Structure 1
Amino acid sequence: MLPWKRLIRPLAALLLASAVTVVPATTAEAADTADTADAPRWGSPRSSAAESGGGWNDYSCKPSRAHPRPVVLVHGTLANSVDNWLGLAPYLVNRGYCVYSLDYGQLPGVAFFNGLGPIDKSAEQLDAFVDKVLAATGAAEADLVGHSQGGMMPRYYLKFLGGAAEVNALVGIAPSNHGTNLGGLTELLKYFPGVGDLLSSSTPALADQVVGSPFMTKLNAGGDTVPGVTYTVLATKYDEVVTPYRSQFLNGPNVRNILIQDLCAADLSEHAAIGLIDRIAFHEVANALDPAHATPTTCLSVVG
């Protein structure tokens, strides 16, 4: 990938951070109905668009004996509960899983682009959503699959919000587990006074994911994992967002770290594609959810 292309997504994030600081309050009021007017500034509840169809978020679904745990999909930064999962959700539904996805980390007046609020508050939203899914399905535990921030944020829920008692497995696809330097872009922040404060105040999730942030320090203090949960990390060496890519890997028991190119050297997926369309990665997700029936993942898995 050409160097200038590596900067597109990080620069887009910075531009979004700038844009939300000038969104008039009246815009938020016009976009949200009266029932959300009294909601908290960060993470105001909104229904998932996927609830209306698409084969997932079907609350009448009952887990089967073959797949006894519902799967909760956790989108990434600047994504949402539908678009992030147009590939993986049907893939899992077609294999007999009860699949659910949530929206989290919403900003006032910013539609469509979620996962931007404080990550600890987003973890609280995930906690509530998992409770809802378990109540609806009657399952004792869920499995979580997340992309980017969505592969890392659940670790806060597992570690600090009691999630380990409700979760069997966490699969992170290109997760920002130890933060990112955005290909070195964050090193430039010190030369632009005020930009760091802009990120923290307007798009907290971006600031939380910078290497060495207070959030990252708290999340990873005392170890990456918690007992009772199995962890799988799927990374691509072409990742241009969570960099360096090996920072995505976890240390601890019950961890499997996978570089997708070790399974198929011809896989050229970068940060977005590995979560959106990469059926080689999807095959490994299925293996992680049902390790007793795992099958080898190869380049031919794209047609599986």
Structure 2
Amino acid sequence: MQRHKRRIATAASAMTASLLLSLPLTASPAHAASHDPIVFVHGISSSASTWDDWVADFEADGYSSSQLFAWSYDWTQSNATTARQLATEVKTVLAKTGAAKVDLVVHSMGALSGRYYLKNLGGTAYVDHFVSTAGVNHGTSVASLCGWLYTSCEEMETDSSFLKALNSGDETPGSVAYAAYWSNCDAAIDPDSSAELSGASDVGVGCVSHENMNNDHGVYEQVRAFLG
């Protein structure tokens, strides 16, 4: 009888161990929660949907959909106005997620509102990483084609008062980690060096078009590594 009871106990112990091994591990959700939420800012003549590929990539790499915020705004308005709206968006994201800071990932003209927010609106207190992809950080000759139509485009002209003020002094203020990714065959950024930022990690990604800079998977992998 005692031997029979020991056999039952042994079998039960083995079954319990097997069930425990089959349970899903909880490390993944804990790891996902450790990420800063990301706010994506598009450029001129664009919308939040321009980030669809990267949002999917981040989700595949462990981010949850509730940590990824592709934001749309009126791209014709002044980048200063957009920056004030971005400040509100960041506070909304922090309230939703309970995070202390966000990462800002921007494309093209989105770099201007993002940098204005950091420099002039106290954004450095709420941003951990700032990533500029094909950012019009020092203007572009191409902006002359639309500067007479839109305030936002006029501000991208190389000698605009907006850019002179934005780039005066420290281009990478605060304790934010900055990175600027640029291409040597970006037809929208002229000259190519305009996409660089003094004080940032400036990364040449090779020949990637302006339109593909924020959906190219190779660029994504570098951005993902930078965000840690």
TM-score higher than 0.5:
yes
CA distance in 1, matches of 2:131, 2:174: 15
Of residues 95, 101, 109 in structure 1, which corresponds to 2:61?
95
Q: Is residue 224 of structure 1 aligned with residue 175 of structure 2?
A: no
Structure 2: segments with no counterpart, 5+ residues:
1-28
Residue type at the aligned position of 1:103? S
What's the % identity of the aligned pairs? 32
Of residues 240, 250, 260 in structure 1, which corresponds to 2:205?
260
Q: Is residue 283 of structure 1 aligned with residue 221 of structure 2?
A: yes
User: What is the TM-score with the length of structure 1 in the denominator?
Assistant: 0.62
CA distance in 2, matches of 1:132, 1:248: 29
How many residues of Structure 1 are paired with residues of Structure 2 in the alignment?
197
Partner of 1:75: 42
Partner of 1:243: 190
Q: Is contact 1:76-1:149 (8 Å) kept?
A: yes
Of residues 210, 219, 223 in structure 2, which corresponds to 1:271?
210
Q: Is residue 178 of structure 1 aligned with residue 178 of structure 2?
A: no
Residue type at the aligned position of 2:223? V
Q: Is contact 1:63-1:70 (8 Å) kept?
A: no
Following superposition, the deviation at residue 284 of structure 1 comes to 0.8
Residue type at the aligned position of 2:48? S
Pairing of 1:151-230 with structure 2 (within 5 A): 151-182=111-142, 186=144, 198-199=148-149, 203-230=150-177
Following superposition, the deviation at residue 63 of structure 1 comes to 8.0
After TM superposition, what 4+ stretches of structure 1 lie above 6 angstroms from structure 2? none
Following superposition, the deviation at residue 68 of structure 1 comes to 2.8
CA distance in 2, matches of 1:174, 1:242: 7
Residue type at the aligned position of 1:133? V
CA distance in 2, matches of 1:64, 1:150: 29
User: What is the TM-score with the length of structure 2 in the denominator?
Assistant: 0.81
CA distance in 2, matches of 1:251, 1:138: 32
Q: Is contact 2:79-2:112 (8 Å) kept?
A: no
Following superposition, the deviation at residue 65 of structure 1 comes to 5.8
Structure 1 residues 101-139: Cα deviation after superposition (integer angstroms, max 9, x where no partner):
1111x2xxxxxxxx2210000001111000000000000
Following superposition, the deviation at residue 247 of structure 1 comes to 1.3
Q: Is contact 2:181-2:203 (8 Å) kept?
A: yes
Q: Secondary structure at the match of 1:269?
A: coil
Pairing of 1:75-154 with structure 2 (within 5 A): 75-82=42-49, 84-97=50-63, 98-104=67-73, 106=74, 115-154=75-114
Q: Is contact 2:42-2:108 (8 Å) kept?
A: yes
Q: Secondary structure at the match of 1:76?
A: coil
CA RMSD of aligned residues (A): 1.8
Greater C-alpha Rg: 2
